[in-house]
Amino acid sequence: MKEGTVLLIGRPNVGKSTFVNNLIGQKIAITSPKPQTTRFPIKGRYEDERGRIIFIDTPGIMGKVQDSMSQKINKRTFDSINNSVDAVVYMIDHTRRRDFEEAKVLGTVRKIDKPKFLLVNKVDIPEPTYLPQYTYLEDEFPNVYAISALENKHIKPFLDALFAVLPEKTVADTTAENETNYPLLNLDSSTFIGELIREKIFLKMGKEIPYTTAVLVDDITERNDTLTFIKARILTTNDRYKKMIIGEGGRKIKEMGSMARKEIELAIHKKVYLELTVETDPHWQETYYK
In the chain, the domains with their CATH numbers are: 2-179 (3.40.50.300), 189-288 (3.30.300.20)
- pLDDT at position 189 is 82
Q: What is the mean pLDDT of residues 26-41?
A: 69
- Assess whether pLDDT exceeds 50 at residue 176: no
Q: What is the mean pLDDT of residues 211-238?
A: 90
Cα angle 123, 151, 115 (rounded to 5 degrees) comes to 65
CB 218 within 8 A of CB 264: no
Q: What is the mean pLDDT of residues 116-138?
A: 95
List all residues 6 or more positions away from 77 whose beta carbon is below 8 Å from its beta carbon. 9, 41, 58, 59, 60, 61
List all residues 6 or more positions away from 6 whose beta carbon is below 8 Å from its beta carbon. 53, 54, 55, 56, 85, 86, 87, 88, 89, 162, 166
The pLDDT confidence band at residue 241, using thresholds 50, 70 and 90, is: very high
Count the neighbouring beta carbons within 10 Å of the beta carbon of residue 199.
23
**pTM for this one?**
0.73
CB 49 within 8 A of CB 90: no
- Assess whether pLDDT exceeds 50 at residue 177: no
Over residues 55-72, the pLDDT tens digits come to 988 775 544 545 555 555
Q: What is the mean pLDDT of residues 174-188?
A: 54
- Assess whether pLDDT exceeds 60 at residue 286: yes
Over residues 115-124, the pLDDT tens digits come to 999 999 999 9
